[in-house]
Amino acid sequence: MTMTMTMKKISVTVNGTTRQSEIEPRLLLVHYLRDVLGLTGTHVGCETSLCGACTVMVDGQAVKSCTVLAAQADGSNVTTIEGFADGGTLHPMQQAFWEHHGLQCGYCTPGMIVAATQLLQRNPDPSEEEIRQGLEGNLCRCTGYQHIIQAVQCAAKKMKSKPAAAAR
């Protein structure tokens, strides 16, 4: 039997807009973003926090939104892939993925871009090895990662010359 759930009120700022919602306490953050707010750029690839397709920023930390409850995000600031471009200008990481063919089917890409951006926030000048280690939580089945690594290296250069973009 489905239990009658007490709905919970949450307030989450997503990509700069504060959203008030009433949700089931068990609702996952990724389903909140995708199904309640219609932000379908964040993908579900495994439901077990292993593939990283669902990675979003919560209060500046990259988290896997398939294993976070929406209720846990109450009061926080969430950035999804839809919030990365600044109006018509792509985020340097997005631009670098495009230039270096860092994606094929594109399904892992939003999570990969979020994770890679976090990586550069923590280490603005990573070595190839550090990039490989830093992206361990994100799986890509298409690219073999080499073009992704080149994209991150390229983004690192771009973001060093334009640190403002890195803060996003």
Partner 1 sequence: MAEKFVGKSIKRTEDPRLIQGLAHYVDDIKLPDTLHAVFVRSIYAHARIKKIDTSAASKTAGVVAVYTGKDISQKIGPVPCGAAIPDMKVPDHRVLATSKVYWVGHPVAVVIAENKYIARDAADLIQIDYDELPPVLDEEKAADPKSPVIHEQFGSNIAYKLTAGEGDIEAALKAADKVVKQKIYHKRLAPIAMETRGVLARYYPGEQELTLWTSTQIPHLARTQISIMLNMPENKLRLIAPEVGGGFGSKLNVYAEEAVMGYASMQLGRPVKWIEGRRENIQGTIHGRGQVGYVEIGCKKDGTITGFRYNVFADMGSYFQLLTPAIPTLTGLMLSGCYKIPAIQMNVTACFTNKMSTDAYRGAGRPEATYVIERAMDLVAAELGMDVVEVRRKNFPAPFGGDNPFHVATGLFYDSGNYQGALDKALKMADYTKLREEQKKARAEGRLIGVGVSTYVEICAMGPSPALPAGGWESATVRIEPTCKVTIMTGSSPHGQGQETSFSQIAADELGVTVNDCTVIHGDTAIVQYGIGTFGSRATAVGGTAVYLALQKLKTKATTLAAHMLGVDAKTVTFADGKFSSGGKSVTIQEVALNAHLAKNIPADMEPGLSAQSFFEPKNFTFPFGTHIAVVEIDRETGEIHFKRYIAVDDCGKQINPLLVQGQVHGGIVQSLGQALFEQVVYDDQGQLVSGSLMDYAVPKAAQLPWFELDSTETPSPVNPLGVKGVGEAGSIGATPAIVAAVVDALAPFGIHHMDMPIKPEHVWNIIKKGKTGAA
What is the Cβ-side half-sphere exposure of residue 168, based on CA atoms within 13 angstroms? 26
Are the CB atoms for 56 and 114 separated by under 8 Å? Answer: yes
Residue 110 in contact with partner 1, rule: CB under 8 A:
yes
Helix (H) or strand (E) holding 31: helix 29-31
Selected from 67, 77, 121, 145, the binder of partner 1 by CB under 8 A is 145
Residue 71 in contact with partner 1, rule: CB under 8 A:
no
Amino acid at 110: P
How many residues sit in the footprint of partner 1 (CB under 8 A)? 60
Residue 132 in contact with partner 1, rule: CB under 8 A:
yes
Are the CB atoms for 30 and 65 separated by under 8 Å? Answer: yes
CB count, 10 Å around CB of 154?
Answer: 18
- In angstroms, give the least distance from the CB of 166 to partner 1: 17
Selected from 10, 23, 43, 159, the binder of partner 1 by CB under 8 A is 43
Q: How far apart are CA 107 and CA 61, in angstroms?
A: 21
- Residues of the shown chain interacting with partner 1 in the complex, contacts defined by CB under 8 A: 1-2, 24, 26-27, 34-35, 38-48, 50-51, 53, 80-82, 84-85, 90, 94, 97-99, 101, 103-110, 113, 128-129, 131-133, 135-136, 138-149
